[in-house]
Structure 1
Amino acid sequence: MGAVLTQAISFVLVILAAYLFKVGRILEVKDGGTISKIILNVTLPATIIIGFNSVELNSILLIMISLGLLTNIVLIAIGGFIWRKRKTADQALMIFSQAGYNIGNFTIPFVQGFFPEAIPFIGSFDTGNALMVFGGTPMLADKITGQNRGTRGTKEVVFQLFRSPTFTTYIIMILLAVINVTIPENVLSIVELFASGNAFLSMFMIGLYLEVTISRSDLKKVAQLLFTRYTLGILFALASYFLLPLPEIVRLSLVLLALAPIATVSTINMVVYGNKESLSGFLSSSSIILSLLFMTAALALIM
């Protein structure tokens, strides 16, 4: 429990430091884009390589990939139903706020310091999650809202997926597990050097993107969206931990995933589907803070 609290406090301090750097104009929001590129292209793939190395492909990893797909589909359906009578922009806002998990930039950095054995399960879930976030969710959102903003062909979706270094690394490591190939220790030691900065850079980037101002009318909307997301998330976490016949480490991984914040791509799609950048930015920031609190509390209760 002590390690969990220390990790959470450390994350808060890094986020706060980055936010103060932004307020003090030492750094700007655009600098977060540079850090994001370093994370997505260097530190996160390195973290995934270390987490997946020597893992044997089994039915549980395939189950996690399937759950990454299934949970998104269920949440899209629930989100579309809840605000089905609202205008299309609000419908899309509800859908994208419920489906999609920020795993690479938040959940993996959160667990890598004290719970690295969970990374293969979390990463497998994220493989299914990525298939939805980058392609499946916009397609379903189009059908539910009657818009045609996110519809893309199969080739374009596949190209988009493999443009993501994170998704490509997942696929490569899963293929290596299939053929039972492991990365040598001397190579792995170099990879570990790159991976060591992932958690710090991820939280620092979040601090640069942190938004704390919003209109009163939008604040009410954000409260409704977050209440719905975390109510569903807590129910998913409880069902995963107490009802699923899976090893404890897998059930614990599912608890953390259920409480993960809104995916970055989902917040971008909110704007694409007609919502304000200030609203989606504040919603994303609030989700990250709440997820940090809920995930810390869940681990403190379970471990």
Structure 2
Amino acid sequence: MGIVFAQAISFLLVILVGYLFKVGGLLEAKDGQTVSKIILNLTLPATIIIGFNTVEINSTLILLMSLGLLANFFLITFGGFIWRKKNSADQALMIFSQGGYNIGNFTIPFVQGFFPQAIPFIGSFDTGNALMLFGGTPLLADKMTGQNRGTRGIWEVIFQLFRSPSFSAYIAMIILAIVNITIPENVLSVVAIFASGNAFLSMFMIGLYLEFKISRVDLAKVAKLLFTRYALGISLALVFYFLLPLPKIVRLSLVLVALAPIGTVSTINMVIYGNKTSLSGFLSSTSIIISLVLMTIALVFMGI
């Protein structure tokens, strides 16, 4: 229990430091883009490589990939349905606020220090999650809102997926696991140097991106969106933990992803589909803080 609280508090401190650096003028929000490039191209793929090394591909990992797809599909369609009478921008806002999990930049960094054995399961879920974030969700949003802003061909979607070093790392490590190849320890020790900075950089980047300026009207809208997301997220977490006949570590991993914050790609798509940057930024920032609290509580109650 103590290590979970210590991790949560340390993450909050790093986020706060990043935010203070921005407020104090030492760095700007745009500097988060540089940090993001380091994370996405170096530290996160390195963390995935370490987490997946020696993993054996089995039916459980394949099931988790499928759940990553199905959970997104359920949340997206539910969100689109309950706000079906809203204008297209609001409906898209609900769709993207419900579907998509921030796993690479938040969930994996959160657990890698004290619960690294969960990374292969969380990463398997994220493979299905990424398929929806980069392709499936915009296609569904187009159908529901009639905007046709995200319609792309299958090859363009595949190309976009493999432009992500994290997704490519997932696929590469899955292939290595299928053919029963593990990375030697001397190589892994070098990779670990890069992976060690992932958690700090991810939380520091979040601090740089934190946004708390929003109108009162938009604040009421954000409250509805977040209530819906976390009511559904907690419900899914309970189903995953108490009803699925899976090992405890797998169920714990699913609880964490169910409570994960809104995905970065989803936040970008909110703006593409006609919403204000300030609104999507505040929604994403608040989601991160809520998820950190809920994931910490979940881990404590589950005895980690």
TM-score using structure 1 length:
1.00
| Equivalent position of 1:164 in the other structure | 164
Q: Deviations over 1:244-275 (max 9, x none)?
A: 00000000000000000000000000000000
1:282 is aligned to 282
2:80: which partner in 1? Answer: 80
Distance 1:135 1:142 in 2: 11
What is the rounded CA distance, in whole Å, between the counterparts of 2:76 and 2:209 in structure 1? 26
Letter in 2 for 1:39: I
Equivalences for 1:46-61 in 2 at 5 Å? 46-61=46-61
The answer to whether the aligner puts 1:35 opposite 2:35 as a matched pair is: yes
Q: 2 CA distance for matches of 1:171 and 1:22?
A: 36
For 1:71-220, what aligned pairs fall within 5 Å after superposition?
Answer: 71-220=71-220
**1:266-303 Cα shifts (integer Å, max 9, x gaps):** 00000000000000000000000000000000001111
**Cα distance in 2 between the residues matched to 1:154 and 1:6:** 44
Q: CA deviation at 1:172?
A: 0.2
Shift, 1:52, TM fit:
0.1
Equivalence map 1:253-272=2 (5 Å)? 253-272=253-272
CA offset digits 1:13-64 (Å, max 9, x no partner): 0000010000000001111000000000000000000000000000000000
CA distance in 2, matches of 1:264, 1:82: 23
Partner Cα distance (2:236, 2:259) in 1: 9
CA distance in 1, matches of 2:285, 2:263: 11
1:162 deviates by: 0.3
Deviation at 1:213, TM superposition (A): 1.1
| Partners of 2:40 and 2:101 in 1: CA distance | 16
Q: Offset of 1:12 from its aligned partner? A: 0.3
Distance in 1, Cα, partners of 2:207 & 2:102 = 15
CA distance in 1, matches of 2:119, 2:254: 11
Residues 1:239 and 2:275 aligned together: no
Query: How many Å apart are 1:147 and its aligned residue?
Result: 1.1
Q: Distance in 1 between matches of 2:85 and 2:143?
A: 15
Whole-Å separation in 1 of the counterparts to 2:185 and 2:53: 10
Which residue is equivalent to 1:4? Answer: 4
What is the one-letter code of the residue matched to 1:234? Answer: I
Secondary structure (helix, strand or coil) at the match of 1:213 reads coil
Distance of 1:72 and 1:202 partners within structure 2: 23
Distance 2:233 2:72 in 1: 12
Residue 21, structure 1, aligned to residue 21, structure 2:
yes
Letter in 1 for 2:176: L
Gaps of 5+ in 1: none
Letter matched to residue 147 of structure 1: Q
CA distance in 1, matches of 2:77, 2:134: 17
CA RMSD across the alignment? 0.3
Instruction: Name the structure 1 match of 2:229.
Output: 229
2:142 and 2:204 map into 1 onto residues whose CA distance is 34
Q: Deviations over 1:76-106 (max 9, x none)?
A: 1100111000000000000000000000000
Distance 1:188 1:268 in 2: 34
How many residues align structurally? 303
Cα distance in structure 2, aligned partners of 1:160 and 1:268: 15
Q: Per-residue displacement from partner, 1:116-146 (whole Å, max 9, x unpaired)?
A: 0000000000000000000000000000111
Could you tell me how far apart the structure 1 residues matched to 2:302 and 2:164 are?
Answer: 34
User: Given residue 27 of structure 2, which amino acid in structure 1 is its aligned partner?
Assistant: L
* 1:55 match: secondary structure: coil
Distance 2:52 2:250 in 1: 15
- How far is 1:203 from its partner? 0.1
